Chain A
Amino acid sequence: DGGITQSPKYLFRKEGQNVTLSCEQNLNHDAMYWYRQDPGQGLRLIYYSQIVNDFQKGDIAEGYSVSREKKESFPLTVTSAQKNPTAFYLCASSPLANTEAFFGQGTRLTVV
């Protein structure tokens, strides 16, 4: 089945720990995005990538890092520098920048 797969669905992080969220797509899409959603809030852009080996910061990139070594994969690392990481993280991809984007099922990250 074609689609966007995020894993894990639920993730628990201890204080001071780095964690990596996985996002894989088999749609042959060029552009990929990471968003964060807090309860009752809209989606805020963390990072985005239009091509392999290139990515740009979004509005709330501090405390996060990404890589785009393969077209299919765009992992997000939540570092210990992110002081309030508890949120719903959504990965999306689109065929080209500026076209329709489709979402994975999301990862809920909780700090314990």
Chain B
Amino acid sequence: EPEVTQTPSHQVTQMGQEVILRCVPISNHLYFYWYRQILGQKVEFLVSFYNNEISEKSEIFDDQFSVERPDGSNFTLKIRSTKLEDSAMYFCASTPLAGNTGELFFGEGSRLTVL
């Protein structure tokens, strides 16, 4: 069964460092998402991506964050200068349909710990 894969599963970094989280969505999906879950809190939408550009972003997704699809398979989330409050689990998801009307396929998540 096709699946969304994320790497790394866990990354520990120092405050102020750049972090890149990687995702390989399901190959025939067209819509990609990043979500964040701070420990003990609810999942939050960060950004959606379609046709090689951001289609929507939340207020959390400020200038410190960026996404790209560099090679047609990987979908990356970059945090430019990490802060303590960026510590969270980051989930990538993909779907073949837009507008939240298609089933979402999630990766296993990347746990980011900022020290």
- Are A and B interaction partners? no
Using a CB–CB distance below 8 Å, which chain A residues touch chain B?
Answer: none
